[in-house]
Structure 1
Amino acid sequence: MCRRLMNSILLIDVLLCSLTNGHDIDVEKLLDGEYESQDQSALVEYLESLLENPINVNEASARELSTLPWLSSTVAIRIVHYRYKKGAFNSVDDVKKVRGVTKVFQEIRPFLTVGKRRLSYHMSGRHRIVFRAEDSKAFQQNIYLGSKEKMLNSVKGMISNHVQFGLLSEKDAGEQFLDDLRTGHLLIDVPFLPTRICIGHFSAGFGRGLVFGGPYRMNGGSDVLSPAKQTGRGIVPYLTVTENKAFWGVALSSRQKLFELHAFTSTQKRNARIENGLVFSLPQSGLHRTINELETYRQLDENVRGFSLEMNVNRGGRIGGALQTCFYKYPFSKKGGPDQYDFYGSSNRVLGVYFDQTVASMNIFAEIAQSESRGRALIIGLCYDWATFDFVSFYRWYEKNFQNFYAQGFGKSATTSNESGFYFGLRYQVCDGTTVLISFDQYKSMWPQRFDPMPGSGCDALCYLECRFSSQLCVSVRYRTTTKYTGETEADQYGNLFREIHRPSKSNLRLQMDYKATKKIQSRSRLELSLYSEHECMLNRQQKAGILLYQDFRWQFHRLCRVQTRWTFFDAPAYDVRLYQYENDVPGVMRIKMLNGRGARWYIVASLQLAQHLQVHVKYENIYIDDDTSIGSGNDRIDSAYENVYSCQLDWHF
């Protein structure tokens, strides 16, 4: 990754404030962290599907309701108990009568219904093209084999109440084929069993994600309670652009009164770098633009078998277990140094058991798993939900030799291994309209990592205050600080190497005002400061600072047309004080944009409903860096201080 401004550090499928349904859904609190490698496309794809097909609160189980990231298990169980005691809800607003719902009702309202779901027969499609005007180094020198457009095509639908399907193809800029990424599924419900059969691409998630974690994990942004809501959704169809997160094969799910059974078999080819019959790495970028990248394309045969059995206990409790077996055509090479505990060999087996019990306002959960290498992983915690405050507290412990490519446990590491830590989150409603959120995460690694020659430790803290003065005005303040102890290899004047302890810390202070002038005009203003300090041997101290200012406007000047625009000015002279901002885009796309250097960014998004079943969305974005003559680095470097990107998308349904 370059130390200058990058075009996009993270491009993910995400839920956007939709013109077609009229709901303003702010998912930024879930996704505004600084986890550059984190991809939440499957989460927001799920939320987007719920906009089209909301959850019926008169039929849904507590587990289905708790899959909404804002809704805790305790509140979900209260909704079901209230329904059994009082009868069916007459309207979605009646759900607010359940204790604990009012605090999150604004967020969950668009995803709920009290009536039947949409008609038995429907189909929808999405077609998108993204084009960057400037040619990067790779296109000028013909390093990339394909064209510069990024394209996506998807179709999904329901043939009857019991048959669903989906197809998706995507091509990144520089790739040769329109279907470089292909996913699809056929889902069949057998109501009289009751059983679901999924053929094609699907994801699997059980318990707290230590055996099968599903396609995403809740690391949390400003929503400090979301990390505790990592609950498995079982086996679900997969139709997102994130590669390396899905299985391909046949899966079966059967739900009875007391038991729930999931089983699947998957056979697919994964991208891999293989030399002399040994696997050295599994590239995760999903890019196949150059000859070297194409050499890794679908090179490794992988066979995965999965099984899960879960039993409902008491009211609001469940206990279960999951088993995973993996087999590879070629063995993984044995590594040395910091990577010596990485997976090696041609097979792996992971076994885990989990427990989840809700008693009154308290939810207790735990999961423990062990891989074939005898490495273990553990997560245990509790959530408490009351009238004015909620809190979550849990402990995680992942041994350095725990090996599982499909684990998604909460943590700072990209892999669920070599980490232990304690997390605490609190939400307190001081009074009507005023809410305080606090979180603290203390963690450490037990073994050196690839870019850290010594075991490290650190802590993150966040404090967020939100004040709603009226239905039109909301002001918030957020402070986040991160401190990490690391060891770095240094050389003295004679060339002798030694290791020195560093203690870098980064703090961000954000001030934000949201103002709704009318029903059709909204604005958001933000000022954010970033401060970086580094302590060497606790004596020397270096400080750097950065600043960001943006103004955002949304204007729906006609029921069929909506426009959103944002101006951003930033000055982050050092990479250590880089700043991030969540950006809205055409529906189905969002960017967490990294801003580094000094410059300005501007974009405008317009949505127009051409017909009852046809919408078009366009976006223009421009960025200018005034202290450099190029943007990006390596093959993606642009020899210009400007970058212009155009997007166009067509959505249809019937």
Structure 2
Amino acid sequence: MKLIFTALIFFSLLTFAFAQTDSTDSMIEELLEDSSQDLEEAQNLDLLEYLMKNPIRINSASINDLESIPYLTHASAAAIIRYRNLRGGIYSADELKSIESVSGKVIEKILPFIFFEKEEKILVTNHLSIDNIKFSYRFRVMNDLQERKAFEENKYPGSPQKYYNRFLFGISNKIGAGVLIEKDAGEKSLSDFYAFHLNIKEIGFAENFIAGDFVYEFGQGLAMWGPYSFSKGSDAIGTVTKNGRHSVPYLSADENQFFRGSAVKINFNNLSFSPFYSYRFLDASIDTNTNMINSLSLDGYHRTNSEILKKDAVTEKVFGISAQYFFSGDSKIGLLYYNSRFNKKFEETYIGGKPVSNFELLSAAYSVSFNKLFLSGEFSYDKKSVSSINNAEFFIEKNLSFAFSFRNFPRNYFSLHGRSFGEKGTAQNETGFYAGCRFATEYGTINVYYDQFKFPVTSDSYLFPTKGREFLFYYTYKIFREAELRIRYKNKKKELVETINSELGTANRTSQNFRAEISYKADKNINMKSRIEYVTLTPTPNLHAENGYLIFQEIKYTPAAKLNIYARLTFFSTDSYNSRLYVFENDLTGVMSNPALYGEGLRWYLLASYETKIGMKISFKYSELYKPDEITLGSGDSEIDGNVDNKISLQLDFNF
């Protein structure tokens, strides 16, 4: 109760003057906060960082290039291309905002990812030149200040520090290469994981060539997609439809969900072919009696003896090809075939069928434009069943658009490399219908969606269906030019499996989240953000009703042009882990922090970054979690004696 009282006083005493909102951080948070994962690395964040460091040239970009930008729909990308071709170029944000069918709110969100450059300069910079060579190096170290149980008991052979090293090299956006080396806390080898690639664009008859590590994206992600994939969130329109980029260089810290080999894209006018090949080792749990794969291990940890036994336990060989044909301007159809072969069979319980080691998938995708209507979808066949998703986007006028999506993923469909739009994102054992709307007025922008879903089989243990539905309302309004208000309400109802009167059955549980937030400036160099959030869970026959809240105040201070200081203090109180609240935090560049807060306590952090005149950026973060009523934090090998969990992180970025 003392924390609650302190939080309310803290929040109520806030006073402020207004200036300009720091919108880029808010935009990234809107995209990433719904991942609901307490992770340090997120491939989605790597994608956003890459696009910000390598902005797309608006005057030479293809429609595929533009569609890789979050928030930008196919219709908006096509409208930008048409305007550019008609006017001979686009040279300012004001010109973009004048395009009749693209809303100003969307333009504001994509500005960090695009670059305005005159045609004459483009022609010069496209040539390979020593003046256009870029080199960057990133070093990062993270360290928990409290000793965890596994280190106390000497279960982990390595040091408690987590190390990350990344090298990037590029020439004129035509040639790129990268190497990543990483060690998790507790691992012994400084190079426990490594990734690398060489990427050459426009070489001979090939538009794009990759050797080394890459991910492959096709259609709507049913058969194949990378580990990063935006799904349902505060933008009700922009994340529904995917746009596959085919082969993409990979240099992230996820240790298993990528390919290692080579890929090439070849263009013949409106027809393109993209063959690829991969052979690599994967972490897996092997049944010693059957010598079959129990499961693939995706966490990437190699600390204990059992984790080390899983390392590189199986091999996967993948080869495939996709073809894509453009017609009627920006409409297209595509076909994909690939074969994935393991050196051991999967057990029946993992894949939902008889033990096999070989997987073949054939997929067809389409996207077609009809003036203000855009249709897209994919049908994928795995030799057992057909999984499908079909989307429709209606752009009534510049400030009003709708999106609809129907998905039908059979229980026995199986794709190891699929990442789909939906409740689970696996393109398996799910049917659903999604409807979203975005409406912008002079009084603010409203995003709203409703998603209804059903799982034909709850799990391998519970062979009966469950269902649910989700509703989200998100409102943003610039109170003044200098301040923005955000209100978010989410209502989700799901069936849970429970034992009722000694029999298995289902019970409905509804969660409701309400959030109010305001971003503003208190001074020329000070940005502020204040938030209050409340969650409720309805009771079931076996579970009590629960409540929770959090309140935070954040400040960003910029005393000098190259110096940024962030600080945030969060008070929270929830009845249990079930009513936990996730809160997206600012962190070192390339690190995602979205911790789950539950119980009662406070969390605060201080983040500072300084960029020197010689191209070096130094970043530092200290974070602390305090729960006054606890005597231990965490569980298992991660348990800490005491009620404080704190961490320091340091990062150096060199750019030449």
Q: Which residue of 1 aligns with 2:497?
A: 487
Describe the superposition over 1:71-97 as per-residue Cα deviations: whole angstroms up to 9, x where unpaired. Answer: 110010111111111111233432222
Matched with 1:525 is 530
Aligned to 2:420: 409
Q: CA-to-partner distance for each residue in 1:519-567, whole Å, 9 max, x for gaps? A: 421111001011011233xxx9842111100000001011121100000
Relative to structure 1, the CA distance from residue 161 to residue 471 in structure 2 (aligned partners, 3 Å threshold; closer, same or farther) is: closer
Which of 307, 322, 325 in structure 1 is aligned with 2:339? 325
AA aligned to 2:533 is E
Aligned to 2:19: none
CA displacement, residues 315-371 of structure 1 (integer Å, 9 cap, x when unaligned): 220001111101111111223xxx672573110100010110112121101110010
- Give the C-alpha shift of residue 255 in structure 1: 2.6
Give a deviation string over 1:100-153, Cα, whole Å, max 9, x none: 142211111121112246952110010000011110100000111211001100
Distance 2:434 2:38 in 1: 21
* SS of corresponding position for 1:332: coil
Rate the CA distance shift 1:40–1:312 in 2: closer, same or farther, 3 A: farther
Question: Do the aligned residues in 2 keep the contact of 1:320 with 1:353 (CA within 8 Å)?
Answer: yes
The equivalent residue for 1:382 is: 392
The amino acid of 1:83's aligned partner reads R
Amino acid at match of 2:37: E
- What is the match of residue 271 of structure 2? 259
Alignment deviations for residues 36-77 of structure 1 (CA, whole Å, 9 cap, x no partner): 389983332222122222111111111110111111100101
Residue of structure 2 equivalent to 1:7: none
Alignment partner of 1:273 out of 280, 285, 297: 285
Structure 1 distance, partners of 2:39, 2:406, is 21
CA apart distance, 1:378: 0.4
> Among 470, 477, 485, which residue is 2:480 paired with?
470
219-228 or 310-319, which moves further after superposition?
219-228
Aligned to 1:311: 325
Secondary structure of the structure 2 residue equivalent to 1:534:
coil
Q: How does 1:211-360 map to 2 (within 5 A)?
A: 211-274=223-286, 275=288, 276-335=290-349, 341=352, 344-360=355-371
**1:605 and 2:607 are equivalent in the alignment:** yes
For 1:489 and 1:96, the matched residues in 2 are separated by 57
CA contact (8 A) 1:453 1:487 kept: no
Equivalence for 1:12: none
**Counterpart of 2:87?**
86
Distance in 1, Cα, partners of 2:204 & 2:630: 66
Deviation of 1:414 after TM superposition, in Å, equals 5.1
Would the alpha carbon gap of residues 518 and 452 (structure 1) be closer, same or farther in structure 2, given more than 3 Å must change? farther
CA 27–648 in structure 1, closer or farther in 2 if over 3 Å, else same: same
For residue 599 of structure 1, report the CA deviation from its aligned partner. 0.3
Paired amino acid for 2:82: H
Q: How many residues align?
A: 621
How far apart in 1 are the matches of 2:506 and 2:219?
38
CA distance, structure 1, for counterparts of residue 436 and residue 214 of structure 2: 32
Report the alpha carbon displacement of residue 226 of structure 1 after superposing the two structures with TM. Answer: 3.3
Partner of 1:11: none
Structure-2 change in CA distance of 1:432 and 1:451 (3 Å) = farther
Rate the CA distance shift 1:153–1:511 in 2: closer, same or farther, 3 A: same
Q: Structure 1 CA distance, aligned partners of 2:576 and 2:24?
A: 39
User: Following the alignment from structure 1 to structure 2, what is the Cα–Cα distance between the partners of residues 40 and 615?
Assistant: 20
Distance (whole Å) between structure 2 residues aligned to residue 143 and residue 629 of structure 1:
22
CA contact (8 A) 1:187 1:237 kept: yes
1-structure distance, mates of 2:222, 2:366: 12
Aligned to 2:630: 628
CA contact (8 A) 1:136 1:635 kept: yes
AA in 1 matched with 2:580 = R
Match of 2:189 in 1: 177
Query: Is the contact made by 1:424 and 1:441 (CA closer than 8 Å) also made in structure 2?
Result: yes
SS at match of 1:331: coil
Distance 1:31 1:630, change over 3 A: same
Do structure 1's residue 509 and structure 2's residue 503 form an aligned pair?
no
Q: Counterparts in 2 of 1:390-469, with a 5 A limit?
A: 390-413=401-424, 415-429=426-440, 431-450=441-460, 452=462, 454-469=464-479
After the TM superposition, which residues 135-154 of structure 1 pair with which residues of structure 2 at under 5 Å, given as runs? Answer: 135-154=147-166
In 1: Cα distance, 2:87 partner to 2:456 partner: 52
Cα deviation for residue 595 of structure 1 reads 0.3
Letter of the structure 1 residue corresponding to residue 484 of structure 2: C
Query: Quick check: which one's helix share is greater?
Result: 2
- Taking structure 1 as reference, are residues 250 and 638 closer, same or farther at Cα in structure 2, changes over 3 Å only? same
**How far apart are residue 412 of structure 1 and its match?**
1.8
Equivalence for 1:18:
none
- The whole-number CA distance in structure 1 between the counterparts of 2:239 and 2:562 is 37
8 Å contact from structure 2 (residues 571, 601) kept in 1: yes
Question: Given the superposition, is the C-alpha separation of residues 484 and 40 from structure 1 closer, same or farther in structure 2, using an over 3 Å criterion?
Answer: farther
Task: Kindly state the Cα deviation for residue 160 of structure 1 after the two structures are TM-superposed.
Answer: 5.6
- Cα distance in structure 2, aligned partners of 1:123 and 1:378: 43
Secondary structure in structure 2 of the residue aligned to 1:27: helix
- Distance in 2 (alpha carbons) for counterparts of 1:87 and 1:575: 56
Aligned residue number for residue 14 of structure 1: none
- Aligned pair in 2 of structure 1 residues 61, 161: CA closer, same or farther (>3 Å)? closer
Report the alpha carbon displacement of residue 200 of structure 1 after superposing the two structures with TM. Answer: 0.2
Give the unaligned 5+ runs of structure 1. 1-20
The alpha-carbon deviation at position 256 of structure 1 amounts to 3.3
1:26 partner SS: helix
Q: 1:22 to 1:121 in 2, by over 3 A?
A: farther
How far 1:450 sits from its partner (Å)?
Answer: 4.4
Partner in structure 2 of residue 9 of structure 1: none
Secondary structure of the structure 2 residue equivalent to 1:378: strand
1-side partners of 2:24 and 2:447: how far apart?
25
Task: Report whether the alignment pairs 1:651 with 2:653.
Answer: yes
1:518 positional shift: 3.5
Task: Single out whichever of 108-117 and 556-565 deviates more from structure 2.
Answer: 108-117
Label 1:149 to 1:329 Cα distance change in 2 as closer, same or farther (>3 A): same
1:280 partner amino acid: N
Q: What SS does the corresponding residue of 1:517 show, helix, strand or coil?
A: strand
Match of 1:3 in 2: none
Asked whether 1:112 is paired with 2:122, we answer no
Give, in angstroms, the shift of residue 162 of structure 1.
3.2
Alignment pair present for 1:198 and 2:194:
no
> Aligned partners of 1:85 and 1:39: how far apart in 2?
45
The answer as to whether partners of 2:539 and 2:546 remain within 8 angstroms in 1 is no
List per-residue Cα deviations over 1:366-412 (Å, max 9, x = no partner): 1100103x122100010122222111101000000111100111122
- Check whether the contact 1:550–1:569 (CA below 8 A) recurs between aligned residues: yes
Q: Is the 8 A contact 1:248 1:268 kept in 2?
A: yes
Q: Is the 8 A contact 2:136 2:169 kept in 1?
A: yes
One-letter amino acid of the counterpart of residue 200, structure 1: G
Paired residue type of 2:655: H
Say which SS state the counterpart of residue 590 (structure 1) adopts: coil
Alpha-carbon deviation of 1:229?
3.1
How far apart, CA to CA, are the structure 1 residues paired with 2:558 and 2:571?
A: 25
Q: Tell me, in whole angstroms, the C-alpha distance in 2 between the residues paired with 1:37 and 1:181.
A: 21
Aligned counterpart, 1:164? 176
- CA shift at 1:215, angstroms? 2.5
